Amino acid sequence: MPFTPIIPAGSAPPLAPYSPGAKADNVVYVSGTIAVDKDGKTVGIGDARAQTRFILESIKAVLEAAGGSMKDIAFNHIFLGDLKDYAAMNEVYREYFPSGQPARYCIRADLVKAEFLVEIASIAHLPK
């Protein structure tokens, strides 16, 4: 099945060969998203709350560019550089998913750069 790359205006330059999102039929796959602004600078160094907020806003932009919204997310993959940031990430995450939370997992993993505290990838199913 062919897919369409989704690249919202103002997206951060990718650190590798990928698109911020890809739409296949009514499914949107959002790449692992980190707290990097459109100029390639890390946002919220040392602040998991700020990074989580920036990441979720970036995911929201991908979904809106694809014709969807955060309510369409069915699954989130969450990666933390350190599990001490779990509560801070969840505090912000809860604001974006106050009810009807998507399925998810959260693991500790080495992220691409030490200044990245959080990375989130999503799968959304848009209404037909």
Query: Mean pLDDT per 10-residue run, the chain (128 residues)?
Result: 88 84 97 94 97 98 97 98 98 95 97 97 95
What pTM was computed for the model?
0.95
pLDDT at 30: 98
pLDDT at 11: 87
Q: Which of 122, 23, 111, 114 is nearest to 71 (CA)?
A: 122
pLDDT at 128: 81
**Cβ(55)–Cβ(35) below 8 Å:** yes
pLDDT at 17: 85
Cα 61 to Cα 58, 85, 110, distances in angstroms:
5, 24, 26
Please state which CATH class domain 4-125 belongs to: alpha beta
pLDDT at 103: 98
pLDDT at 2: 87
pLDDT at 12: 81
